[in-house]
A and B are shown apart, each in its own frame.
Chain A
Amino acid sequence: MKNACFFIKDISIINSFVKEREDIIKLFNNNFFSDPSQWDIGLHTDSFSFLQDSIDSPLKKRMSKISLGIYNVLQKGPGSNIEEDDEIYLISSFAEIDTTDQIIKNIIIDDANLVSPTLFHNSVHNTPLSYWTIINKRHNYCATISDGLDTNISFINWLKYRAQLCKIKKNFIIASGEENSIFFKLDKTTKKNIVSSFCAYKICCSEKGFRYLGEFSSLEEILKTASFKEAKYVFCSINEFHKIKDKKVLTEYPLVFDNPTGIVFRLALPFYLGINEKTVIIESHLHKFYMYEVLL
Chain B
Amino acid sequence: MKKNKVYISNFSSVSALGIHNKETLISLNNKKLNYTIYGSKFPYPVFSIDKLIENYKFESNNLIKNAKTALILLKNIEDSFINKGDIPLFVATSTGGIKETEERYKDIIINNTDYPLFKWHFFNEISNSIKKEYPDIFKESFTFSTACSSSGHSILQAFNLIQNGIIDRAVIIGVDILSLTTMIGFDSLKLVSHTITKPLSNKRDGLTLGEGGGVLLLESKPDSDPIAEIVAISSNSDGYHISSPDPDGIYQKECIERTLQMANINKEDISYINAHGTGTPMNDEVEIKAIKSIFKHKPIVTSLKGFIGHTLGASAVTELSISLLMLKEKTIFQVPDFEDPIDKELIPEKSIQIEDIKYFLKNSFGFGGNNVSIIIKRLL
Contact = CB atoms under 8 A, between A and B. Distances in A.
B113 to A, nearest CB: 8
B119 interface: yes
A280 interface: no
Interface stretch (A42-50, A138-146, A196-204, A227-235): A138-146
B276 to A, nearest CB: 16
A52 interface: no
Nearest to A107: B180
B145 A103 contact: no
Contacts of B145: 95, 124-126, 144-146
Nearest to A187: B117
Q: Chain A at the B interface: mostly helix, strand, loop or mixed?
A: helix
B116 A109 contact: no
Contact of B122 (A93, A134, A137, A144): A93
A265 interface: no
A104 B102 contact: yes
Given A115-B185, A126-B145, A169-B160, A148 B122 contact: yes
B35 interface: no
Contacts of A125: 94, 145-147
Interface stretch (A6-14, A15-23, A158-166, A242-250): A158-166
Interface in B112-154: 112, 114-119, 121-125, 127-128, 140-147, 153
Interface residues of B, number: 68
A149 B153 CA distance: 21
Contact of A121 (B105, B146, B153, B367): B367
Given A107-B184, A143-B146, A148 B239 contact: no
B116 A148 contact: no
28 contacts: A113-B41, A113-B184, A115-B188, A116-B188, A124-B147, A124-B368, A126-B146, A126-B366, A127-B368, A129-B368, A130-B367, A130-B369, A130-B370, A133-B369, A134-B242, A139-B251, A141-B236, A142-B237, A142-B370, A144-B145, A146-B123, A161-B88, A161-B167, A165-B160, A165-B164, A184-B117, A187-B115, A187-B116
Interface string A93-106: 11100001001110
A114 interface: yes
